[in-house]
Amino acid sequence: MTDDTGIGSPEWVELLGREMRKRWSAVADRTEQMAGHALLAPGKMLRPVLLLTSAEATGGDSAQLLPAALAVEYLHVATLVHDDIIDDDRLRRGRPTVHAEYGMADALVTGDFLILNMVTSLSECAAVPRSAVLEAARVLAGAGSDVCRGQVREAEMAGDLSCPVSDYLEMAALKTGALFRGACRAGAVLAGATGEHADAVTRYAEHLGVGFQIFDDLLPYLGDSTGKPATSDVANLRPTHPVLVGREVADDQGRKRFAEALSGRFPAEESHALMRDLLVATGALERSRRRAAEEIAAARDSLDGLPGAAAVEQMRGIADLAIDRSR
């Protein structure tokens, strides 16, 4: 692997994509067909790449860990399939979602099937000691449980502008950070890393997760058109990082306007435009951007002293790209 990689990590992504196609192109039944539909959409394979690079960064060999890397993608894609049911989203990565293509009932079962395949795939890491594989399974299951907690927490927060920024960061660490953390820690565990080295990639992942989520929150206000619809967050009454930061520094009059923008009483386009104006006026966009950059810097620093220099550089590249997705 060269170090000319990042979120794109083209060589890893190609390797993982090839392995994914090998396993999910020729399918045995409709259940596998639906799983394949979800898995074979062109994605960035960010979490599998983090698992493999973490194994190498902590001094291990990633060659035997492809099934584990796929396992973390199964878990991630399961959450996407189920999210799409909840939000009734019809398109993802330019293709119909599983539930748009096959209906709600089958999509729900497909997500369950993918979660269970996480365990099956992990257990295929034959060259790794059984105790390490079991520990990796425990780590990934714990990460998945935390994603669930984060999703429930986020739903509870909907429309709540009085939510402290610290609560928001806790939620983001669960909803988004947990799978990054699970992927990195599982990679280290499977590579036989020392506790200290495993902790280092875990810290990296935690900072990366929060930075990634804050930048995600900024995207709708940066004129970026690659992600979800720009109006999605206000339409779902989500008090995102910049919104909470802006509301915190606003005066009484400003707070009233924040409440209006997140009230759901106006068309989404209108609410979104009002919110953008408020975020610019309060300097919230700049504050959130600075916070995201701080998290990414902390993620980079967490990797100091790890033995796998090339993988460390890749992981730092991934961190940089997390807050500059135009590259």
| Residues lying near a copy of itself in the complex (CB under 8 A) | 29-31, 34, 78-79, 82, 85-86, 104-106, 108-113, 115-120, 123, 130-131, 133-135, 137-138, 140-142, 144-145, 148-149, 151-153, 155-156
Q: Nearer Cβ to a copy of itself, position 86 or 249? A: 86
**Which region holds residue 305: left if phi is over 0, alpha if psi is between -120 and 50, else beta?**
left
* Distance in Å, CB of 122 to a copy of itself, minimum: 8
Map residue 95 onto helix, strand or coil: strand
Residue type, 58: T
Question: Across-strand partners of 91?
Answer: 96
* Distance in Å, CB of 147 to a copy of itself, minimum: 8
Residue with tokens 């209108």: 270
| Burial class of residue 29 (count of CB atoms within 10 Å of its CB; 0-12, 13-18, 19+) | exposed
Q: Nearer Cβ to a copy of itself, position 132 or 243? A: 132
* Distance in Å, CB of 17 to a copy of itself, minimum: 23
* Distance in Å, CB of 108 to a copy of itself, minimum: 6
Q: Return d(Cα 284, Cα 274) in angstroms, integer.
A: 14
Q: Nearer Cβ to a copy of itself, position 179 or 312? A: 179
Q: Nearer Cβ to a copy of itself, position 56 or 154? A: 154
Q: Long-range pairs for 163-170 at CB < 8 Å and ≥24 separation?
A: 163/239, 163/244, 164/244, 165/241, 165/244, 165/245, 165/248, 168/239, 168/240, 168/241, 168/244, 169/210, 169/241
Q: Long-range pairs for 252-261 at CB < 8 Å and ≥24 separation?
A: 254/278, 254/281, 254/282, 255/161, 258/161, 259/161, 261/234
Q: Nearer Cβ to a copy of itself, position 63 or 158? A: 158
Query: Token digits for 225?
Result: 């058109």
Q: Nearer Cβ to a copy of itself, position 78 or 234? A: 78
Helix-strand-coil split of the chain, %, nearest 5:
70, 0, 25
* Distance in Å, CB of 301 to a copy of itself, minimum: 31
* Distance in Å, CB of 31 to a copy of itself, minimum: 5
Q: Nearer Cβ to a copy of itself, position 6 or 150? A: 150
* Distance in Å, CB of 9 to a copy of itself, minimum: 27
